[in-house]
Amino acid sequence: MIEELREEIGHERVDVNIKEAIFNREKNELIIVAPDRSDKSVIIGKGGWVAGRLREALGVGRVHVEAYTDLILKKYRMKLSLDKIESLIKKGIFPDQLEVFKGLLQERLEKVPEFDLLEYKLEDLNGEVIVALSGGVDSSFSTIIAKNLGFNVKAITVDPGSIILPGHVKENINRLSRTLEIKHEYIEADFSNLIKEALEGRFHPCGRCSKKINDKILDYARDHDIGIVIFGDLLPTSSQAINQVDDLLRLNLPALLAASKQEVKGVVSQFNIRGSQVFGCPLLGEVHRRFPHFRRYSVQRILRETRAGILEPGEALTLILGLFKEL
């Protein structure tokens, strides 16, 4: 059927290779596992036309295509995450809480690619954690999953002002906090020197801004005697996704789970959170406008996630083109 659809659309004739096809009757979803990324591209087609026509022809709600090589890497990263968690448990570091993440990883490993993160829910008895909620899709994903895992979630947002945290992002934060019925707090922070120097072209702001926010969140956790702090970082992956920072445990949840950007977006879209098609905050946009050479560093940040297989090339291209849309 795929070969016929490709021919109808006008795509070149090539061999179509499928390793496995899984139909989820409850979700009316077809998952196709292709041997490699090139085979995945053949099945999806240019602009997703082939997969779209296949969905219509089969009368299913969704067609999702994965490359087996990507699944191998995803599983390997999760195994490394699991090894790190088990080593921390043996040392007696937050064993009760880490057992929760261990259970999640074990089940996810067993059921990839069919595993549904939103269906994995535990009772509310697993202790208190802080989630750094910036209002973007990655931190929203982390907040949702932490809540589903039964933790008493306290979401903290560092607020440096609207040039970094604009109003529409705050709306995401407030809406998600209400929907999940979790405690949320804004921490006001003075980023005036960072903003001033960035607008003078002294540096690309993302790294320094991220560090200041990270330090503020960790200081808050210490002040309130909460030992586990969850961030929405997609990198670094595997064993580096969970680390001790003095008396705290810092955990990058999407990275720990080897989640792709597509998977993250799929989870948060069910809570009316949409990802931006623009890379970065208003401050970064103004820095790009005044000092175009800084765009290269933003491109490098996008490519890091693409090389890691977290961002699909098409997603990365959209973000990169967004940096140059006025040219």
Query: What pLDDT sits at residue 278?
Result: 76
3-state SS class at 152 = strand
| Domains parsed from the chain with CATH numbers | 2-69 (3.30.300.20), 117-269 (3.40.50.620), 282-323 (no CATH)
- pTM for this predicted structure: 0.92
Alpha helices per DSSP H over 260-312: 261-269, 282-290, 295-307
Q: Are strands 29-34 and 20-24 parallel, antiparallel or unpaired?
A: antiparallel
Q: Using only C-alpha atoms, what is the Rg of the chain?
A: 21
pLDDT, tens digit, 9 for 90 and up, residues 210-240: 999 999 999 999 999 999 999 999 999 999 9
pLDDT, tens digit, 9 for 90 and up, residues 170-208: 999 999 999 999 999 999 999 999 999 999 999 999 999
Query: What pLDDT sits at residue 277?
Result: 67
Task: Evaluate if residue 5 carries a pLDDT over 70.
Answer: yes
Structure tokens at 255: 């990275």
Strands across the sheet containing 248-252:
183-188, 152-159, 128-132, 228-231, 248-252, 242-245
Rounded Cα distance between 132 and 129, Å, is 10
Query: What pLDDT sits at residue 123?
Result: 84
CB-neighbour burial class of residue 102 (10 A; exposed 0-12, middle 13-18, buried 19+): middle
Rounded Cα distance between 231 and 219, Å, is 14
pLDDT, tens digit, 9 for 90 and up, residues 32-68: 999 999 999 999 998 889 999 999 999 999 999 999 9
Identify the bridge partners of residue 22 per DSSP, sorted by sequence position. Answer: 31
Rounded Cα distance between 134 and 25, Å, is 36
Alpha helices per DSSP H over the chain: 2-9, 37-44, 49-58, 68-90, 95-111, 137-148, 167-180, 192-199, 205-223, 253-256, 261-269, 282-290, 295-307, 313-323
Question: Which residue from 244, 252, 249, 256 is spatially nearest to 227, judged by alpha carbons?
Answer: 249
Residue 327: pLDDT band (50, 70, 90) is: low
3-state SS class at 189 = coil
pLDDT, tens digit, 9 for 90 and up, residues 17-41: 999 999 999 889 999 999 999 999 9
> What mean pLDDT is predicted for residues 106-135?
91
> What mean pLDDT is predicted for residues 244-249?
93
Mean pLDDT over the full length of the chain: 93
